[in-house]
Amino acid sequence: MNDTDSTLLSYFDTAADGFCDRLRSVPDTCWENATPCTEWNVRQLANHMIQGSRIYTSLLRGGSSAEFMANLDHEALNGDLVTTYRGAVAECRAAFRAVGALDRIVDYPFGPVPGRQLLGLYVVDAVTHTWDLARAVRLDERLNAPTVHWILNNFQWIYHGVSESPITDSNRYYGSPTESPMSDTSEQDRLLHTMGRKL
């Protein structure tokens, strides 16, 4: 992985903003819609993304893996969801941009990783769940192509040493990869199949 820190941070912004764009377009009647993540409806998926941003912020500021797991399913939905999400992302963005944050080893629960790698994990999660949200509410499913390309090119680095991941045999947090229907599948479809999504 040879990207500059500025480039990495731009992927964070693109991924977080992509989810926000879909979130603010969710009709009031769709919050209970099922998502491709079978354990979550749309409202619960929004909660996951809000709480995930808060947990990553905590890790970057010295939080522990035990705190991460304890807060993973905490209810974070208070007030307007778009405003709450934006606030959580702003805090997370600031934490990643803090001096030394990308080099700091954080206590990620599935293996200690530097902040730079944690950012990659965030980007994959946000991009994948952007598609989940779009599919659940019938919004634009097109993901940011340069970000998808970057994820695919750095997939092994992003998940290096991480025990729960799409490149391990664990299916606790990630669905098993699904088969691509044809050899000329787009990069977006390749990523979604890798992340266990059925298109």
pLDDT for the residue numbered 61? 94
Query: Which residues, in sequence order, are CB contacts of 66 under 8 Å at separation 6+?
Result: 109
State what percent of residues in the chain have pLDDT above 90: 70
Written as six digits, the tokens of 120 are 């990659």
When pLDDT is averaged across residues 77-102 and rounded to a whole number, the result is 92
Greater confidence (19 vs 4) lies with: 19
pLDDT at 4: 86
Whether the pLDDT of residue 153 is over 70: the answer is: yes
Are 150 and 11 in contact by the 8 Å Cβ rule? The answer is yes
pLDDT-wise least confident of 11-15, 147-151, 177-181: 177-181
Q: What is the fold, at CATH topology level, of the domain defined by 5-143?
A: Four Helix Bundle (Hemerythrin (Met), subunit A) (1.20.120)
Evaluate if residue 155 carries a pLDDT over 70: yes
From 101, 16, 3, select the one nearest 50 (Cα to Cα): 16
pLDDT of 192 above 60: yes
For the chain, list the strands marked E by DSSP.
Answer: 105-106, 113-114
Residue 151 pLDDT class (50, 70, 90 cuts) = very high
Amino acid making up residue 87 = G
CB 135 within 8 A of CB 22: no
Beta-carbon count within 10 A of 10 CB: 15
pLDDT at 67: 77
Res 31: pLDDT = 94
Answer whether residue 123 shows pLDDT above 70.
yes
Give φ, ψ of 161 to 5 degrees.
Answer: 75, 5
Identify the residue whose tokens are 């399913």. 73
Q: Mean pLDDT across the stretch 154-178? A: 75
Separation of CA 65 from chain center: 17
